[in-house]
Structure 1
Amino acid sequence: MPPHYYPPDIARALQERWPAPAQPLLPAPLLTHLISVAYQASLLRDEGRLVQGQLLCIAPAEAVPADAGEPFVLPFATPHPCTEQEIRRLSPTVQRGSTALAVAPGPTGELQLWGLVLIGTEWENSFTLQDEAAGHQQTLLLHIRQPGSLSFFCGNTRVLTLQQGHIEGHGFLQFPMAWAAGHFGDLPTLPFQPPASPSAEWQAAAAEIAGTLALHVLRRILTTVRDAGHGGMVVLVSASGFEALSSETGVLWPKYRVAAHRSNEWFGQLMTEILTRLNGASGSLLSQFQQAPYTVLRTLERQVEELTHLLADLMAVDGALVLDKNFNILSFGTEIRVSSTSISHVYRALDMDAQQLRPERLDSGGTRHRAAYRLCQADARCLAIVVSQDGAVKFVRHREGKVIFWDQLAL
């Protein structure tokens, strides 16, 4: 049984892992104090809401972007002490991920919250295919996401995460691509007309963009559900296989089946708009998408925001939300009908590719988790994601005779 980590242990582990070229960390006593305060803040609630947000360790004079132009900085006329109650009171301003509370030592050496700094939108960061976003400085960024859960970043790079008292071996920060392998790789059926005789390179780039967009949408849905605190399950199936899966003898029993309608093809329409905008640009399709997401995609954010909120609301209905791989809504309030299976254990993925697995008892999870495990065991065509009320997220699929799940630390 690995030991539990306390603020001094976490500070030492962070110092050991901190990249050499980055801005130096706070001195050990201040770093330990910051971790302790952030941890205590994560256990509080503000008017019924979880305390969530970001703390950026940066001095006022250093709040300068890596590229041209001035950052949006909102300095307080009077800095406030860095305490768990001040973080709680200010947490509504930094819940969306695009803004952070700026913290630095004051004149007396004690940590102060001196203002707000815009660190970039979730949309832009999630679509950036490069390792580092231009606007993120290589300084400590501390994410408070759930009670007792802290993630420590150097710019955009995760250094370590504390969850359930441990800092290693319990989950991932990126989508497990092995979970999604073979599911989001195809382009949706589009009204968009590709170039005459599209090259293999164009088709591959368009498929990669579709996959990236799919994972972004999925991330937004799950983040919305987790922030709402109601939990839920989403099941992804092939559109052609849904009728069999939801038949009298199938494993899915929809309470609310959705009829075919053009407005339900919103993901394909969104892809059409993206490809239409990119197609006239010079350079390869993929390079245009990588280099200019903020100009091409930002105008589409409101549409994605509205639709992901709808999908998250459907997940709040008792039962599972069922989508196909193009995010067409097939049903919601769906009961999982798997009366019995021979499964007694499931396997926790210890790496992103699920090459290392650890068996765990089926009954180690809650009712919703067991339903997802049994569903994937009964029909390998199904992928499932379970969001618990406490914010935990598990990705589940059947592979090579085993039901495998990935714990997700952040979205």
Structure 2
Amino acid sequence: MASESQVRAYPRDLASFVRDRLQTGSAVECALLPGLSVLENILSVCFQASLLREEERPVRFRLIFLAPDRLSPNHGPLAGLHRLLFRDRLPFTERELRKLSPSVDFYGSLIGLWHDGKSGLSIWGIVHSGPRWAQSLHGGGKEFQPLPDALVVSVTNPGRITVSNGSTEIATLNSGKIVGPSSAVFDSMWVRSAFGAIEDEELALHMEARRHAKKPWAAVDPDFFRTIKKQISMRLLGRIRSSRHGGALICIPDELKEEFLSENLYVKLKYRFVEEEPCKRFRTLIVKIANALAEFYGSLEAPKRTVGWTEYLASKNQTLSKLDESLFEWAHLVAGMTQVDGAVVITQRLELVGFGAQISGKLERVDAVAHALDPEGWEILQEQTDCVGSRHHSAYSLCNALHNVVVVVVSQDGTAQLVRWNDGMVTVWEQLSSSLIEV
């Protein structure tokens, strides 16, 4: 369904969206939320607090709606949550959130909130979670203690709030729009179709190494290759966002690589790499990780066991830890290349082609794009492009000219868009924009 305009969303709309989303799940999930009127009040107060400043500092915090007796007084990171009760409960107001936010570090702690049925909503204390949870937002491999099933509200920027059930993100309100979890578009069928053949090649390389192994290896879940790529994509986006400079990635099919390295009608590539193994390092690391994972678990248990992302996270193997660090460094390297003018060009195999790519200004200008409301792009809103910057205009023009190219554009404020040609129109996705990762 297409429309020329989009009605702006507010905290009340976000509350209804969250209730509707959880009501389609289990009754237990829905019971974890307060009533709709209370939920609207919580989100409205958090929204208003996000617009304030405390001694010229932005107001940022995480808040958990949970009775304090649901948390043990004997636990703390890394095995649990550290609960600290106030002797005197505080009123739940924008002013109290503004005053309290500097002392409750966003990455380490949450503000405790509850509704006792008598005096209404009140702030009862602080819950210290530790910062390791943030590693998962950047695709990290560290284990962390998940939050209990409860309403969690995260305020990261003015007018930008995210609602979660514990550690599971439900929706984000940003710039008058409600979007779903950040990883949604990475799990879409079109992404799987576009990169499925590449993952089959990586699996084939792993199977070849397996045939030459001297000891039994555990079986690796084929879906592991896709999952780890999704996590690395999150790391890469997180590094670009944290720079506050913005940047762009142009992902091309292999058959366009030589054309992009030569003079062409689409881009001028300032820094071009020689095609050798270091440019293909990502694939090398992925296969090495799969090999090390299979070898490690094959030595511990019956080799018929299938291992994947869960086992990778739980592993304490030094080889896997070093390879994971190498992947992080690869993401850091590529993110750094986006800090110069122009885009980074990579292939669908995540092979580096070059950076400093300037998209030709002679390409046809795109005056309207389809804004995807779901990961597959089945439901859209048609939007004019007169309010976007030159970086976005260039991405739209390139995808309009080359229908098999995907561009990721990150703005200076951290907002990310994925752009590609879809169903007869340049289409943009914002489901990859996680508010939490942009702090």
Structure 1 residues 401 and 6, CA, compared in 2 at 3 Å: closer, same or farther? Answer: closer
**TM-score normalised by length of structure 1:** 0.79
CA distance in 2, matches of 1:225, 1:119: 20
Aligned to 1:25: 33
Among candidates 241, 262, 273, match of residue 258 of structure 1? 273
- Is 1:180–2:203 an aligned residue pair? no
Aligned to 2:84: 75
Unaligned runs of 5+ in 1: none
**TM-score normalised by length of structure 2:** 0.74
CA distance in 1, matches of 2:359, 2:368: 19
| Bigger shift: residues 214-223 or 396-405 | 396-405
Among candidates 361, 375, 379, match of residue 398 of structure 2? 375
C-alpha deviation, 1:319, in angstroms: 0.8
Among candidates 155, 165, 168, match of residue 154 of structure 1? 165
Structure 1 residues 324 and 123, CA, compared in 2 at 3 Å: closer, same or farther? Answer: farther
Asked if the contact 2:221/2:306 (under 8 Å) is kept, the reply is: no
| Bigger shift: residues 247-256 or 297-306 | 297-306
- The CA deviation string for residues 294-342 of structure 1, in whole angstroms up to 9 with x for no partner, is 2246665433333322222211211111122233322111101251327
Asked if the contact 1:172/1:352 (under 8 Å) is kept, the reply is: no
CA distance in 2, matches of 1:218, 1:331: 18
Letter in 2 for 1:116: H
Structure 1 residues 181 and 7, CA, compared in 2 at 3 Å: closer, same or farther? Answer: closer
RMSD over aligned CA atoms reads 4.0
- The CA deviation string for residues 237-262 of structure 1, in whole angstroms up to 9 with x for no partner, is 23442221232124121122223454
C-alpha deviation, 1:178, in angstroms: 4.7
Asked if the contact 2:66/2:114 (under 8 Å) is kept, the reply is: no
Structure 1 residues 337 and 25, CA, compared in 2 at 3 Å: closer, same or farther? Answer: same
Aligned to 1:360: 383
Asked if the contact 1:139/1:155 (under 8 Å) is kept, the reply is: yes
- The CA deviation string for residues 35-64 of structure 1, in whole angstroms up to 9 with x for no partner, is 244324433568987655532223443236
- Counting only pairs closer than 5 Å after superposition, residues 236-315 of structure 1 correspond to structure 2 as 236-280=251-295, 281=297, 287-296=306-315, 300-315=323-338
Letter in 1 for 2:398: L
CA distance in 1, matches of 2:306, 2:348: 25
Aligned to 1:56: 64
- The CA deviation string for residues 332-366 of structure 1, in whole angstroms up to 9 with x for no partner, is 11101251327543222232111233333343432
C-alpha deviation, 1:289, in angstroms: 0.8
Asked if the contact 2:172/2:181 (under 8 Å) is kept, the reply is: no
- Is 1:85–2:98 an aligned residue pair? yes
Among candidates 110, 115, 129, match of residue 122 of structure 2? 110
Aligned to 2:223: 208
CA distance in 1, matches of 2:305, 2:261: 37
SS at match of 1:256: strand
Structure 1 residues 288 and 124, CA, compared in 2 at 3 Å: closer, same or farther? Answer: farther
CA distance in 1, matches of 2:420, 2:6: 28
Structure 1 residues 214 and 52, CA, compared in 2 at 3 Å: closer, same or farther? Answer: farther
C-alpha deviation, 1:232, in angstroms: 1.2
Structure 1 residues 162 and 191, CA, compared in 2 at 3 Å: closer, same or farther? Answer: closer
Asked if the contact 1:44/1:88 (under 8 Å) is kept, the reply is: no
SS at match of 1:363: coil
| Bigger shift: residues 275-284 or 390-399 | 275-284
Identity %: 24
Among candidates 243, 252, 256, match of residue 228 of structure 1? 243
